[in-house]
Structure formats: structure tokens, C-alpha cells
Structure 1
């Protein structure tokens, strides 16, 4: 029997094939992790993540060619080309999934398929109640013995998964699917479609994408024609270095869609400096909602002299809303737009 080939309702985004390796992706991903949100650990994690170099983080550009379909009525087995360009055979509809990425977990719940989760990573902290699902370790250091004990029929990971962990998981004899798209709404829709195809939730996926597109259009309509204030988005600052979202980042795309002008739009990467922030003279500053972060930032040399700080225009945002490639990205866009243009979103 030849397994059918699963494809999303949209073809693989063009950006997938040409996607360069971005050392800063590690910093951005850790930006949303619980450990990152504990201040003493944050600078070291950012610097470590900036130098994560792995060819396995690069999305391959192979196209998906449908295979002859003589699969049984339930659609399985299926052949899935994952984001490491591996052809993964899934013999039956997955009922016990271990998710090793927060965005994958959030997508499954949004599809109405959260009850399929047999395990989740320690970084999966949304939606409420997910903490009751057994902890299977982190994305970078999964607990192989715990995962084996959960008897999964499918393991799903996302960006920043390590080759050594993949080799160990492969020895369990369970399909391991590495799934991530380009950092964009189209990339998110690609991932939603892939997951939906595995759990028979195509109708739910269509509803999610339709609603997100409607809300994206609403934000853009409300901000069209408005003055675009200069914004500085803070990832990190201080002795460990200053980091922000450059013009080639998805956070930059979100800021632009929300009606802002990113003062770091010419930056390619993540490393910045307080001198460059002073020169850019932002109208407002957006930073993570890490406890104490705003207070330290506004008291820090250089930053405390900024006009945005003096005028009390420093705002915080839940970074999970804009870092995780999940259904809450649209919430993040709306929150950003409300911060940047409060008059249009009252």
C-alpha cells in the first residue's frame, strides 16, 4: 500500500525554500520561554541562543509531489514531508500525540483536538488546563524516557529542535514530525493545515484562518491613513547587550501591520545599541511583560533620557502573543495596534 501524501490547502510558502538560517531566531524563541522570563537567566540565554548554529534549522525547499492514492477509507497511512525535508510515514490517525513546541500545542487546542495530547513540552503553558497534560521535557532537551512511557503514536516538534534529540526519538520507533513554516501568517496557516490534515480537522482549520484573515484586514483598515509613530521594540538590554527586532523579522512585520514605523527597520539581525535607540528617538517603546523589566529599562542609563520614557510612553506586551507561531498571533497584532493607535481601537 502506498501512503497518500498530506498537503496543506495552501502550497508550501515560497519563503520556505529560500529561508536563510537566522542566528537570532534562537533569541526570539527563548524570548517567549518561561526560563527567559526569569530575569537572572535571561541575558545568558539570549547570548547562547544567538550562536545556535545548526543546518537542521534551515527549512528545505523540496516540493511535495503527490503519490498514487490507494490508501484505506480513513486516509491512512500518510506520507508527510516535514520541515527537515524528511519523508515521515504515519501509519494510522494519531490518537496520542506528544507536542514538543508551544505553538503546536496551541494549534491542536484551537482545532478542538487537545484531547489527543498525551504529553507536552515544559514550555507549553497555554491554554489554561494544559498543565494537566504530562510534562515531556523541553523542546531542546526532551525527556526521552518519559516520552516512551506515554506510548505516543506521533511526536511533533518545531523550530530549534536539535538533531541529537531527533536521533534519540527516532529510536523509539514512533513517527517524529518536525513542523514549522516561515515566520509569517502564511507560515502559520501552512502549519495549521498540516496539523489539521493529520487529525481530520480541516473544517476547523478553515474557520480559524478565515477569522484571522478577517481580523488582520480589520486592523489594517483601522490604521490605514494614520500617522505612523516611531516604535522601538525591546527584546533585551543592559550588560548582556541590546537586542531588538530588525527589518527582516516577523515582529517587524507585525509592527508595520499595526501601523508603526520600526526605528530598527534597517537592521538585519537582532543586535542593537542604546546609542542607536537615542538617535532613533522613538515615540513609544514596547517591551516584554516580564516582572520588573519595564522598571529596570526606564531606570537604565541611556534609556531613562529617552523622550518616550520621560513622557511615560513605555508599554508592555505578553511576548507569547507575538513570538509563538500559533493562533494567538492575531491577538498579538491587535494588542500592538491598540498600543500604537489607541484612538482607533477604543
Structure 2
């Protein structure tokens, strides 16, 4: 039996008063650029950042790791909502950033951190029962940037959860913090992986099903509206559930058995609940009389990927590389 498993490496009330400006980064960012204002639009909201932020707050893991990837840990006044293990390459820098809350901070907790910039990849961070709406923060002089992959207005979402949107986000953040060179380098590094994956895509007809978790025993699989669809296509395969118009949706084990995908991708969650880990999922698949007969299970075509890499983030490229490597190997075994 061979399962490809990689470690988790490389997600209140409005503020009543205006918000006012650390830690060690790895790699270190360039010194702040000129204090010229940067103006951009984030999910329909115009933002002006008058100078490179010195006290940024990130409201969930994806935003946190992107800033750390840009070497900006020493310009972060706080972070929140860790949903998975931090990538090892960011662990030291992350440990130096104050954690404001286990999940989203309240408006009061955010105010106490005195941020000059707020960033999240999740619209839920800016709900009334979290830190408050972005427009309210902007009115108080605190620009609040939201990932284009999760805009408050669904009409503003991109047609595809892909790397072009992520690269634009990296470029935006690099400009805001005056580290354009590092942003361009990060984009180039990830583009190189995309190019390698495209060149290596197997000439084989492989279907992939992504299993995230279960709800009352029913499996949650990736439909056609999320990042797994994009990753599957880029790696040269097909999504066994691409007829389902959702990012993630409930199905049945019988439906999976009927489609009998060639490959199963198992989300590896680190929150500690029963059935969350990829190892737990594999054990369940092998123990059940129906799923034990799936082609992917019998042929050991199981690919474990950290759950946090399955949402658009700076680590999504790692999920793509892992899936691509597995598909190339599986296709070679059939040749």
C-alpha cells in the first residue's frame, strides 16, 4: 500500500473609535518603499494606503501566511484564526506575531492592536459579529483588504478560482507594503511551478474525487466552483464531480462508488476531530465493504493534501505540485 502523504507545509460590532503603529520575519522583507500613497480596489471597495503599513493585522491563516511569505512578519501587529498547522517555513516568524484570538477577534480586540492595515482572505472576518464592515474601518482610516476569491458581493467573484487572481493579490499586497521585488519573485517562483506542471501533465484519462470530510457519515466532495477544480484541470485530470455547481458539497458513498474515480484526494485536517486526518479517511475507506472496492483504494491511488492548501492561498501551489506528481506517477504505472 502506498499513500502519498505530505506534511502540513509549503480559511463584532463596528469600531467605535479610530484605530491607530512586531515580530521577526523569514525571509526579511526589503525596507519600506517610498511613502507615496497606494490606491487600489478590493472587492469593490476603493482603498488608499498612505504609507507602507507597520502594524498590519491578518484575520485568518491564508492572509497571515501570505504576508509571512513576503517577509513581513516584523510589520504585523497581530494575527488570528489558525485553521491548520502553519507551514514549517513560516513557523518561526509566525511564533513572533501576537495572536489576537483563536477565531476572529472582536472589534475591541482589533482596536487594542492599533492596526494601520487589516487583511483577510475570508469575507466572514468583516461581519458585524467579527471586526465590522470594511467600509467602516476605511472610514476610520484603517484600510481593510479582502481577497477577490471571497468578496462580500458574490457578483464580484472571479469566474474561476485560479492562480491569476492569487498572483494579482500578491502583487497588490507587495505594492501596499513597498516590497514589489519580493512580490514579483514570489509570483515568478509559483509561475515556474505552473509551467512545470503543464509540461508534465500526463496523457492519460484520469478522474479525481476530492474528499474533504464527512457530515453525519456523508462525504463532502469538491464540485466545479472551487480551487480543486482548477488544480485538477491544471494537473491534467478530470474532476469526477464536475457536474456539481459548488465548491464543496455533500454526496454519498454510493455516488462515489458509481463514479469510481481513478484517484482520491484526501484532505488532511489537523484540528483533531475523528475522521479529519488523511490517515483516518484512508482507514475508513479500507474498512468499508463498498469503498474498499473502489479502484483508487484497491490500486493505492490515494493522495493526502493539507486541507488549508485546498483553498486559494500562497500554499495552493504546493497542492498542485503534490497532485501533479501523483498523477504523473500513477499514469506511468499504467503505461
TM-score, normalised to structure 1, is 0.70
In the TM superposition, residue 87 of structure 1 has moved relative to its aligned partner by 2.4
Cα distance between partner residues in 2 of 1:123 and 1:214? 28
Counterpart in the other structure of 1:110: 69
The aligned counterpart of 1:311 is 299
**By how many angstroms is 1:150 displaced?**
2.2
The alpha carbon displacement at 1:344 in A equals: 7.9
8 Å contact kept, 1:337–1:345? no
Deviations 1:150-200 (A, max 9, x none): 222112122232430343784794514132124210110111011011111
Q: CA deviation at 1:88?
A: 2.8
- Write out the 4+ residue segments of structure 1 that deviate beyond 6 Å after TM superposition: 343-346
What is the CA-CA distance between 1:281 and the residue it aligns to?
Answer: 1.2
Q: Does 108-117 or 154-163 show the bigger shift?
A: 154-163
The answer for the alignment partner of 2:201 in structure 1 is 223
TM-score of the aligned structures, taking structure 2 as reference length: 0.72
User: Does structure 1 residue 296 correspond to structure 2 residue 273?
Assistant: no
Are 1:231 and 1:285, in contact at CA under 8 Å, matched by a contact in 2? yes
Q: Assess, with a 3 A threshold, how the Cα gap between structure 1 residues 147 and 167 changes in structure 2: closer, same or farther.
A: closer
Q: 1:208 matched to which residue of 2?
A: 186
Shift in Å, 1:255? 1.1
2:258 is matched with 279
- Larger displacement relative to structure 2 (187-196 or 107-116): 107-116
Match of 2:26 in 1: none
Aligned partner of residue 242 in structure 2, secondary structure: coil
Higher relative contact order (CA 8 A, sep 6+): 2
CA distance in 1, matches of 2:285, 2:143: 41
* Aligned partners of 2:107 and 2:131 also within 8 Å: no
Shift of 1:131: 3.0
In structure 1, runs of 5+ residues without a counterpart are 1-32, 37-72
Partner of 2:145: 178
What is aligned with 1:12?
Answer: none
Tell me: CA distance 1:157–1:327, structure 2 relative to 1, closer, same or farther (3 Å). closer
Structure 2: runs of 5 or more not aligned: 1-7, 12-32, 150-160, 270-276
Which residue of structure 1 lines up, in the alignment, with residue 50 of structure 2? 91
| Equivalent position of 1:188 in the other structure | 166
Specify the SS of the correspondent of 2:123: coil
Structure 2 Cα separation of the partners of residues 119 and 144 of structure 1 = 13
Distance in 2 between residues matched to 1:81 and 1:234, nearest whole Å:
35
Deviation sequence 1:262-284 (CA, Å, 0-9, x none): 21122212232222211111122
Relative to total residues, which structure has the larger strand share, 1 or 2? 2
Q: How many residues align?
A: 272
| Contact 2:106-2:131 within 8 A present in 1 as well | no
Residues 97-144 of structure 1 deviation map (CA, whole Å, 9 limit, x = unaligned): 1111222222212222221111011317342121331112256x3243
Secondary structure (helix, strand or coil) at the match of 2:101 reads coil
Secondary structure of the residue aligned to 1:235 is strand
Q: Which whole-Å CA distance do the structure 1 matches of 2:98 and 2:67 have between them? A: 16
- The aligned counterpart of 2:317 is 330
Q: Distance in 2 between matches of 1:247 and 1:131?
A: 36
Q: Is 2:237 the counterpart of 1:260?
A: yes
Q: CA RMSD in A?
A: 2.8
Whether 2:115 is the aligned partner of 1:160: answer: no
Q: 1:298 to 1:176 in 2, by over 3 A?
A: farther
